[in-house]
């Protein structure tokens, strides 16, 4: 949405919270140090802050969509303890060639697809070209690039592997940071002067 508001779209596992392969329970949610403070800084600046997360564990039968409800509630609880909140949590439960119906489909929401970003654009009036996508995987960066957003690669989670993949495939994130906390200044500078939800 041209002329819309700014947003930061954050991957979940490996970006906000510690990477756990196919995280299955609320007790496995552990925030990466500094991530709550980063979200709090975005909140204070009136920047929409959304999670966009591939959750193919649903398709694979490891968890259900119902299981994600307490997991995301715990994520929000831990953030709230540090004065931070998310405006939306979007997830994709699909996988194109693994798992069980009705989830084993090719969809537009699984990153590097842009469906979750487009949903945020529609629901919140976001200008994706003025927004920032942050993640620890090549798929996060490709999704951001596809909508013209600024991209940030964090080296937490699978970030080091993604950095090697970027070099091999000549994908260039706009910024590489040791963590989400380390990217706050870059993100705030990138979004300086853009319309926020408080405008």
Each residue's pLDDT tens digit, 127-175: 999 999 999 999 999 999 999 999 999 999 999 999 999 999 999 999 9
Question: What dihedral do alpha carbons 169, 147, 121, 34 form, nearest 10°?
Answer: 40
Q: 107-120, pLDDT tens digit by residue?
A: 999 999 999 999 99
User: Which residue among the candidates 11, 87, 136, 140 is catalytic per the annotation?
Assistant: 11
Domains of the chain, earliest start first: 7-190 (3.40.50.1000)
Q: What is the helix (H) or strand (E) element at residue 39, kind and residue range?
A: helix 35-44
Dihedral pair phi/psi, residue 88, rounded to 5°: -150, 150
pLDDT band for position 4 (50/70/90)? confident
11 classed as catalytic: yes
Please check whether residue 166 is in contact with residue 152, taking contact to mean a CB–CB distance below 8 angstroms.
Answer: no
Q: What is the pTM of this model?
A: 0.96
199 band by pLDDT with thresholds 50, 70 and 90: low
53 CB-near residues (< 8 Å, 6+ apart): 11, 12, 13, 89, 90, 91, 92
For 151, other C-beta atoms within 10 Å of its C-beta total 22
Query: Could you tell me how many helices (H) and strands (E) the chain has, helices first?
Result: 6, 6
Is the model's pLDDT at 52 over the cut of 70? yes
DSSP helix/strand/coil, 42:
helix
138 phi and psi, to 5 degrees? -60, -35
- The catalytic residue among 13, 87, 127, 136 is 13
Q: What is the mean pLDDT of the chain?
A: 95
CB within 8 A of 51, min separation 6: which ones? 9, 10, 11, 12, 16, 75, 86, 88, 89, 90, 91
CB 173 within 8 A of CB 153: yes
Residue 1, pLDDT above cutoff 90: no
Task: Select the more confidently predicted residue: 88 or 100.
Answer: 88
């Amino acid at each position: 949405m041209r002329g819309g508001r700014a947003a930061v779209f954050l991957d979940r596992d490996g970006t906000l919270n510690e990477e756990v392969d196919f995280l299955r329970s609320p007790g496995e949610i552990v925030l990466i140090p500094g991530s709550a403070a980063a979200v709090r800084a975005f909140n204070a600046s009136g920047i929409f802050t959304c999670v966009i997360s591939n959750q193919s564990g649903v398709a694979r039968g490891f968890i259900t969509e119902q299981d994600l409800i307490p997991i995301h509630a715990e994520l929000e609880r831990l953030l709230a303890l540090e004065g931070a909140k998310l405006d939306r949590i979007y997830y994709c439960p699909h996988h194109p060639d693994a798992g069980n119906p009705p989830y084993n489909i090719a969809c537009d929401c699984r990153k590097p697809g842009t469906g979750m970003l487009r949903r945020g654009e529609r629901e919140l009036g976001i200008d994706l070209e003025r927004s920032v996508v942050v993640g620890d995987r090549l798929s996060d960066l490709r999704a951001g690039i596809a909508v013209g957003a600024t991209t940030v690669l964090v080296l937490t989670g699978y970030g080091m592997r993604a950095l090697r993949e970027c070099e091999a495939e000549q994908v260039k994130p706009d910024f590489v940071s040791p963590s989400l906390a380390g990217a706050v200044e870059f993100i705030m500078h990138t979004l300086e002067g853009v319309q926020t939800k408080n405008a």
